[in-house]
């Protein structure tokens, strides 16, 4: 049985792996797990003597170098100065399109969500966008989204941004840009490839043998349960507290 803390630690470590090699990571205001993954990458690089990682967490005073909020975020993205960002959605389809507006025929949506905001803009410009949604179910991962808030591909229109990977509570998918579809990379223990297929509403590619997502090693756990929790507490005190309480 995997505890809630172990599940979160695996997600955080996986995000750090997906971010490997980037120099500037931007994170939204309500994203403690992506923020922790970026912090873990920064800590790993410092320990290994690798190039420093800059983190911009909207809503943070300690981990945000922007002085003009989202305006500066969008400017940096346009200039190619943000290497990675995270997006989610109420719906995500097998082509990587996301829906942040609602279900049903717009504008007569049956359920309304917060809205697209700058998702389409950032999806188009940021080179490594990681789609992150903890819930893994057919209601989230659908064959076709009801409304495209942000398109994963724009045929005939040059773009440098787009989906790099999809991370959920159950698995990691790579995005095959040439095919415009996902490839199952690994499955989080104790789930199986059959579990992923049953809980995913869209079709995807799958290798003959699907590996398990690596669990964090001892050194990673030491960083997560020490330095990273301390850094998270400034922006996400409730989340940091819950991680300590679960210890």
pLDDT at 226: 96
Judged by phi (left if over 0) then psi (alpha if -120 to 50, else beta), residue 4 lies in: alpha
Domain extent listing, the chain:
4-245
At 100-116, the pLDDT tens digits run 999 999 888 899 999 99
pLDDT of 53 strictly over 60:
yes
At 139-196, the pLDDT tens digits run 999 999 999 999 999 999 999 999 999 999 999 999 999 999 999 999 999 999 999 9
| Helices marked H in the chain | 4-18, 32-48, 69-78, 119-125, 193-199, 218-223, 229-235, 237-245
pLDDT of 216 strictly over 70:
yes
What is the residue whose two structure tokens read 């599940």? Answer: 7
Q: Dihedral sign for Cα 81, 44, 56, 151, please.
A: positive
Average pLDDT over residues 120-146: 97
pLDDT at 7: 96
In CATH terms, the superfamily for domain 4-245 is: Glutaconate Coenzyme A-transferase (3.40.1080.10)
Quick check: helix, strand or coil at residue 23?
coil
pLDDT at 246: 64
């Amino acid at each position: 049985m995997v505890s809630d803390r172990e599940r979160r630690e695996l997600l955080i470590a996986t995000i750090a792996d997906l971010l490997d090699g980037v120099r500037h990571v931007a994170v939204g205001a309500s994203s403690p797990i992506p923020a922790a993954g970026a912090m873990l990458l920064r800590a790993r690089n410092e320990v290994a003597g690798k190039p420093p990682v800059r983190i911009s967490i909207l809503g943070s005073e300690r981990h945000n170098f922007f002085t003009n909020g989202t305006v500066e975020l969008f400017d940096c993205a346009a200039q190619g100065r943000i290497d990675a960002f995270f997006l989610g959605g109420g719906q995500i389809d097998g082509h990587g399109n996301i829906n942040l507006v609602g279900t049903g025929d717009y504008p007569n949506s049956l359920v309304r969500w917060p809205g697209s905001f700058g998702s389409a803009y950032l999806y188009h410009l940021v080179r490594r966008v990681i789609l992150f949604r903890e819930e893994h179910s057919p209601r989230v991962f659908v064959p076709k989204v009801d409304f495209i808030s942000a398109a994963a591909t724009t045929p005939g229109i040059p773009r440098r941004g787009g989906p790099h990977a999809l991370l959920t509570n159950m698995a990691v998918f790579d995005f095959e840009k040439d095919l415009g579809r996902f490839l199952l990379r690994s499955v989080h223990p104790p789930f199986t490839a059959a579990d992923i297929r049953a809980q995913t509403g869209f079709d995807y590619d799958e290798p003959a043998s699907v590996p398990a997502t690596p669990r964090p090693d001892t050194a990673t756990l030491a960083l997560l349960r020490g330095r990273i929790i301390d850094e998270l507490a400034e922006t996400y005190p409730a989340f940091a507290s819950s991680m300590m309480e679960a210890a």
